[in-house]
Structure 1
Amino acid sequence: MKKGVALLILATILWGGNYICGRFLAPALPATLLNTIRWGISTILLWGILAFNKKDFPIRKKWKEFLILGFFGVFAFSTLNYLGLRSLSASQAGMISAGIPIAILLFTPFVLKDKIHAKSWIGAVISVIGVMILIQGKQSGASHSSLIGEIEILLSCLAWGMYTVLLKRYGKSMDPLTMTAGASFYGTLWSALSCIGTVDTGMIHMTGSAWLAVVYVSTLASVVAFFSWSAGVEMVGPALAAPFINLLPIWTVVFGVLLLGESVSLATLLGGIITIIGAVLATYQTPNKSKKRGMTRTA
């Protein structure tokens, strides 16, 4: 049990670092190019892991599923995150992302036809109130670009919500590793296509530290975090594992303050706490009610 909890916490720490790197890389690489490089490297690694485990990679047979998963979970989610981090602090972006479980909740009845209990809807309302406080609580001198950034992060939450429920839907015929590898491959293609006509060499300002950040998001924040989370869920069960995802915004704030020197306003902190409380209330299930339910993330 302790090892499983440690792996879940490690995964959220690694994902929190993705926001820090995204903020750090904002002036170094266009968001679409960063996402293409990140998931291109991740695809090679995941493909190698599949081959090592002698698993088939139905890249053509399941192309429709992978194309959709790649669009929402790799291209839309990650690109919108990196776009938002151009004008928002990592701390604020992480706090807004605490609403991801609510996005998952909203899409579940439509895609999976699952019934949502009243407790979950109450938690959803609480989280929405928290996000509203967080956004409205920004300083009066906030620029128009920061508002666009907040919208981009909110849209990334919706993209991840759709991706997660589709994972559960397609998971009936594929294992998580295969789905992640397929989504990574097609998501890289989506990202590469989005670079056409929007990226030129004058927008690239890479340094040694920037390349290290790219390596981090392509390996630790993608592949290693995925395996840590999957192993942790297997050890403690999906019901006990799901609330741990709400550690992500906490780590993001901690890292933002310590590594990037960011400051967190009282309104941002209050809104984030309310959002997290609502998300925990909305997503937590007792073990006997959710033996087969879990939450997958590859932020």
Structure 2
Amino acid sequence: MKLDARTLLYLTLPPFMWAGNAVVGRLLVGIMPPVLMNATRWALVALLLAPLAWRVFQRPGDVRRRWAYLALIGSLGVGSYNALQYLALKTSSPLNVTLIGASIPVWMMLVGAVCFGQAVGRRQWGGAVLSVLGVLLVISQGQWRTLQQVQLVPGDLLMLLASLAWAFYSWLLARPPASMSGGQRPGWDWAEFLFLQVLFGLAWALLCSGAEWAAMPASVDASASVQPVVSAIDRLNAWSPGVRLVVGLVFIAVGPSILAYRSWGLGVQAVGPTVAAFFGNLTPIFAALWSALLLGQSPRWYHPCALLLIAAGIALSSYRKNQ
């Protein structure tokens, strides 16, 4: 399908919101345990969606016949991806996490080829190279020696698992089983479908949160201080730590969760997971924008250069779809 203005919006909004999630998530990781934070986030999403999606409970047979698929995509996209990312930030640096996250288009192509029979052409590989180069330019700040100093830690493996989980989640959205395709798909609207994903994913997230609590008991510390985001927001708004915690959770529940997941689903359905994955590499660019808005850090010369590389990768990888 052609990358029209609406599809571009669907695929651009998620990385913009996810960049904000990285900033706010980094803040909240210092206040509450990461897996508990993920479970709390999706519990809030479930509460927000419930008034729009409660009618799914009127047709329990539709859910029972498709519970395996719903549980799988819920555990991958809701219960696992962000929990693994938050856990990775406990031991890994943002530089390493971003580096590994930049490999998602490659994993998306490999998963599609191996598990879903999707052929990968030279244009897609070329687009992946351009896109990853753009991300490397941003996170290296235009200096090669920055990348030479990267050291792998256990959190990097967690981010790799998160990337694989997201690749499978996206492909399962684009290639659902017969019971979720065509006339066999129940008449769920977007809110009902996302609500079911959240419920199944929340069950997995709560289970993992319990394991986290048993392995390393920790408490929520609303007085924790995390630099530099906390100090910047405090200087601008003078928010108390408790208010900051509530506002941060509400933001990641509404923006990076409801809005971003809804848009991502529409974008993946329109262009497929392989092309959609390249838009995820816009996240570091938007992270620079969030930093400018929240921290007063002006964009540098390499930001527009990286944006051009990533845009070129998107254009090259989607060239055949525009014919």
| TM class, shorter-length | 0.7 to 0.9
Deviation at 1:194, TM superposition (A): 1.0
Correspondent of 2:174 among 164, 168, 171 = 168
Contact in 2 for aligned 1:90/1:256 (Cα 8 Å): no
Aligned to 1:106: 110
Deviation at 1:109, TM superposition (A): 1.9
Aligned to 2:154: 148
Correspondent of 1:238 among 264, 268, 271 = 271
Aligned to 2:26: 23
Percent sequence identity over matched residues? 25
Aligned to 1:218: 253
Contact in 2 for aligned 1:99/1:275 (Cα 8 Å): no
The TM-score, its normalising length taken from structure 1, stands at: 0.73
Provide the alpha-carbon RMSD of the alignment: 4.1
- With over 3 angstroms needed to count, the CA separation of the structure-2 counterparts of 1:124 and 1:225, relative to structure 1, is closer
Aligned to 1:280: 314
1:198 is paired with a residue whose SS is helix
> Take 1:232 and 1:179, find their aligned partners in 2: how far apart are those partners?
16
Correspondent of 1:81 among 78, 85, 107 = 85
Deviation at 1:161, TM superposition (A): 0.4
Unaligned runs of 5+ in 2: 223-241
The TM-score, its normalising length taken from structure 2, stands at: 0.69
Unaligned runs of 5+ in 1: 290-299
Contact in 2 for aligned 1:10/1:225 (Cα 8 Å): yes
Q: How does 1:2-13 map to 2 (within 5 A)?
A: 5=8, 8-13=11-16
- With over 3 angstroms needed to count, the CA separation of the structure-2 counterparts of 1:244 and 1:109, relative to structure 1, is closer
Contact in 2 for aligned 1:127/1:274 (Cα 8 Å): no
Deviation by residue 1:248-288 (Cα, 9 ceiling, x = unmatched): 2211233246535789999x989x77984685367424445
Q: How does 1:45-84 map to 2 (within 5 A)?
A: 45-51=48-54, 58-84=62-88
Correspondent of 2:212 among 177, 192, 198 = 198
> Take 1:85 and 1:55, find their aligned partners in 2: how far apart are those partners?
41
Aligned to 1:259: 294
**Matched residue pairs, number?**
283
Contact in 2 for aligned 1:90/1:252 (Cα 8 Å): no
Contact in 2 for aligned 1:120/1:283 (Cα 8 Å): yes
- With over 3 angstroms needed to count, the CA separation of the structure-2 counterparts of 1:80 and 1:7, relative to structure 1, is same
Deviation at 1:44, TM superposition (A): 3.1
> Take 1:60 and 1:213, find their aligned partners in 2: how far apart are those partners?
35
Deviation at 1:77, TM superposition (A): 0.8
**AA paired with 2:318?**
Y
Deviation at 1:26, TM superposition (A): 0.9
Deviation at 1:65, TM superposition (A): 0.5
Answer with 218-227 or 52-61: which moved more.
52-61
Contact in 2 for aligned 1:71/1:190 (Cα 8 Å): yes
> Take 2:309 and 2:91, find their aligned partners in 1: how far apart are those partners?
21
**AA paired with 1:153?**
M
Aligned to 2:225: none
Correspondent of 2:202 among 188, 191, 199 = 188
